[in-house]
Amino acid sequence: ERVQAKDPPGLYLKKLRTYLDPKASRSAKKRKMLADSTSTQVLRDLEISLRTNHIEWVREFLDDDHRGLNCLIDYLGFRLMMMRAEHRWTVNNCNSDDTISITIFWTCSIHDV
């Protein structure tokens, strides 16, 4: 018996691409599409779907129309770049009295994703 997929591959990819879009935080339509899901939750759900859905679902995720692997690599590369920039900023600009600045920087960075 085949397991019914919760969501199609395109939905996960649309969400990940929204996190990559700097204008998404200003778009009511895009915020509504994301609802309350964080990028971490989207990645968890995607991981579960890739492990548990039938092979045709995985093939659709990877096909030339969806380019799921490329989207995932783009998103993870972007997050890695952001984390490295945040780390460099922290190392270069922080002392024990700068915790408020770190919090403000971190909050701004998260909303930019």
What percentage of the chain carries pLDDT values higher than 70? 68
Residues 10 and 62 sit within 8 Å (Cβ to Cβ): no
Domains of the chain by residue range: 9-112
Residue 27: both structure tokens together: 């778009």
Per-residue pLDDT of 20-43, as tens digits, reads 887 776 666 656 666 667 889 999
State the pLDDT confidence band at 113, using cuts at 50, 70 and 90: very low
Q: What is the pTM of this model?
A: 0.69
- Maximal C-alpha separation, the chain: 60
In the prediction, which pLDDT does 111 show?
A: 47
* Three-class secondary structure of residue 95 per DSSP: coil
Q: In the prediction, which pLDDT does 112 show?
A: 47
